[in-house]
Structure 1
């Protein structure tokens, strides 16, 4: 999961203001960049007496992003009040192109505090589980798209594993990244084989539900009116374990206990049997997807900066 603290390249605040005016007819009087979150870039915008939370996705597949965020909007209309969904633009779309590589979306700015990536505090697990049960039991909106069981960025990761003779000279963090991958290449290759074996055992799509995709504490907003789930760009039809693994010890790399009361409660409430093997599959998916993202970034031409320094840190942390 890529941490974002720097501003996006090739985009100014004036570009964001123009996008908000064109897409949402917002006359922005104040715009503030927010160095928070992961994956996307965020601002707060003031227009008249209202404030908005603005997100930019970089190199997004716009049709896919629109379907994911449109699913969130449909879930909200269906009565899931904990879904913090985007505001449609003037054309009714949940996201709007701002440039050839930037997509813009707008949300209500809701007072509250999100957590940090990592395991859910024990005091919060039951409440978050209740949100996921409600989500998984909701009829999927027609716009919802199914996930696939392929690993994003796999080709780049495998290309890197086949190019470890070195040195890598594309930037200051490239060679340290190569050295980390070299030390753990055999383990990563074995993980990829395990990934393929477990993917073959995942339940068929006829048993899938609407999933958030990343319901970790960083995407749970504690508000005066209760918990809200944010960042719905990853929502897909998928096995329920795609969400549930983040509430289990798998979140910290330990196998789920066979008598885990939380999973038993989920099974009782939903009538679904939770697959511990699919829990492990999504834990491994997360690790490998992170490795692929960081490796791709660090092999590209780059200059020093805190975001890429973080990418090297997290690449290393996933392996060492």
Structure 2
């Protein structure tokens, strides 16, 4: 995020780092990513860390409400720790734990802190096109991940994106006035202009979900968002970061972010014997866009200000609706 978190006292942040045994020598805010807040920290021993603060009031994929989101986020971080330390998956960039083994520290009722080791390497970018060789390398990581016995802490994922009901509600309220902030009325007008497309894609999602559920395919440990923006190319290959979306699902949850064509995922089939389901790939690619719509609708219908983050969110909302339309007509 570009903006600093609202009403977070940085002294509380440094106190939280103390729970991880880190005494801060230098710190700098890292305005990267979208959703969480990050800092680069150097301890007084010279060790470098990448610190993430999560806003539990806006962490719906981990749970509805701050208390549930904290439980879900803790389970996700504990799962990453298990995959890294117990299963020996070296590509899992897992959080540091406190002296009592906790992977997460709650800073206050709204915010929670996780601490990750600094990783040397070349970070990818969201939307980056991987070469065939690079994609096969990522598929090899996913094949290893999906083959592991799920830790008991692994969260269950809901196929229906969090907030989707809010989109249905918003579609019934397009004739009114949205008053949450400067983007509320423009968002209402933009959604109204794409109403037919959104309704059609929601119906398509429901039909695909029913068919995929009906197949009863086995569930595996999935990362949730293994796109290039969550990859770091290190000396020994790719590393996967951002494990807050880890959860039990069919393999296509991860594979869909690499391709919607089973033929392009042949390396995964070679390693696992599983041929990706074309409809499940389509389902999760559509789910990704609808999840974005749900988050943007909630954001702009609620109270907000004009900031660099809401400016970026507005562009993301417009782009997502355009994508839903073009993908439906292609």
* TM-score (structure 1 length as normaliser): 0.92
The aligned runs of 1:289-300 (5 Å cut-off) are 289-300=291-302
- Distance, in Å, in 1 between the alignment partners of 2:137 and 2:275 is 20
- Distance, in Å, in 2 between the alignment partners of 1:134 and 1:120 is 22
Secondary structure of 2:285's match?
helix
Indicate which of 270, 284, 291 corresponds to 1:282.
284
Going from structure 1 to structure 2, the CA distance change for 1:205 and 1:88 (only over 3 Å counts) comes to: farther
Is contact 2:217–2:250 with CA below 8 Å preserved after alignment?
Answer: no
1:234-281: per-residue Cα shift (whole Å, max 9, x none)? 000110000001111x4xxxxx2x6x2x32332222112311000000
1:111-155: per-residue Cα shift (whole Å, max 9, x none)? 122111115411411111111111111222222122121221112
Going from structure 1 to structure 2, the CA distance change for 1:268 and 1:226 (only over 3 Å counts) comes to: closer
* TM-score (structure 2 length as normaliser): 0.89
Secondary structure of 2:115's match?
strand
- Distance, in Å, in 2 between the alignment partners of 1:225 and 1:7 is 34
Deviation at 1:95, TM superposition (A): 1.2
Secondary structure of 1:202's match?
helix
* 1:74 is aligned to 2:82: yes
Secondary structure of 1:231's match?
coil
Unaligned runs of 5+ in 1: 251-255
Secondary structure of 1:246's match?
coil
Q: Which residue of 1 aligns with 2:269?
A: 267
Bigger CA drift: 281-290 or 85-94? 85-94
* 1:7 is aligned to 2:9: no
Bigger CA drift: 114-123 or 38-47? 114-123
The aligned runs of 1:209-228 (5 Å cut-off) are 209-228=220-239
The aligned runs of 1:201-240 (5 Å cut-off) are 201-203=211-213, 207-240=218-251
Q: Which residue of 2 aligns with 1:113?
A: 122
- Distance, in Å, in 2 between the alignment partners of 1:9 and 1:162 is 31
* 1:175 is aligned to 2:185: yes
Unaligned runs of 5+ in 2: 60-68, 323-330
Deviation at 1:288, TM superposition (A): 0.5
Secondary structure of 2:200's match?
helix
CA RMSD of aligned residues (A): 1.5
Aligned length: 307
Secondary structure of 2:238's match?
strand
